[in-house]
Amino acid sequence: MRSDHTALLLRTRAYSPVLFSVTFSCPELARETAPGQFIMLDIPGRVRPYLRRAYSVADADPERGEVEFLIKTIGPGTEALAALRAGDRVRLLGPLGNAFTFAGIPAGGRVAIVAGGIGAAPFPLLLRALAGAPAGVTVDLFLGGRTVADLALAARFEDIVPGAVHRATNDGSAGERGFVTALFETRAASIAYARVYACGPMPMFGALAPVVARLRIAAE
């Protein structure tokens, strides 16, 4: 059930000068959040940003009571998050939004995650869920960015992707040169994916939509 929570910052992890994660203690939210949902976050006592900001829930561990967010520093709200220290408190309103679904994925099937840059944010929790049901599902991760610096979050996915990890950068500084959607299209031509989960900028969705339509792959 959606509710407002006070959460305590446990730790921050830096992946690059502008990419980092924050993990909070918030047991109720950790129990209730499903993959793909988001929260509205407020840092008490700050004038900017004046309103709460929306962040995808990257991971939620009910046993530890922890909720994690993957963040890119782009403005005063994310800068304020980067400045928090262990023990600081925030307000989290959630969980909000629609969750990813798993209906129709056969046991032993294969699915793809397509992420553009910080669009990787909601996927650790999805991978956690896919590891449990349906049985035997393999997941391939397609991670794209403009340069190698945009792929720093790949470190968060080490050892949790039960399939292949494919990288693409616009300038060719990491992985294959070009758009991640083109890389996915090439691989998907020979792999029968049962589902595609995607998150990223709108141009990425615009490029991906005709690909999944032509290949008749259910996508969220």
Q: What is the pLDDT along the chain (220 residues), one digit of tens a residue?
A: 778 999 999 999 999 999 999 999 999 999 999 999 999 999 988 767 778 899 999 999 999 999 999 999 999 889 999 999 999 999 999 999 999 998 889 988 999 999 999 999 999 999 999 987 767 899 999 999 999 999 999 999 999 999 999 999 999 999 999 999 999 999 999 999 999 999 999 999 999 999 999 999 999 9
3-state DSSP assignment of residue 218:
coil
Beta strands at 195-199 and 110-116: parallel, antiparallel or unpaired: parallel
Beta strands at 38-42 and 53-56: parallel, antiparallel or unpaired: antiparallel
According to DSSP, residue 99 is labeled P
The per-residue pLDDT for range 155-188, each reduced to its tens digit, is 999 999 999 999 999 999 999 999 999 999 999 9
- The set of residues, in sequence order, having a beta carbon less than 8 Å from that of 165 and lying 6+ positions away, is 140, 141, 143, 154, 157
- The set of residues, in sequence order, having a beta carbon less than 8 Å from that of 66 and lying 6+ positions away, is 10, 23, 24, 25, 26, 30, 59, 60
CA pseudo-torsion sign 153, 170, 166, 212 = positive
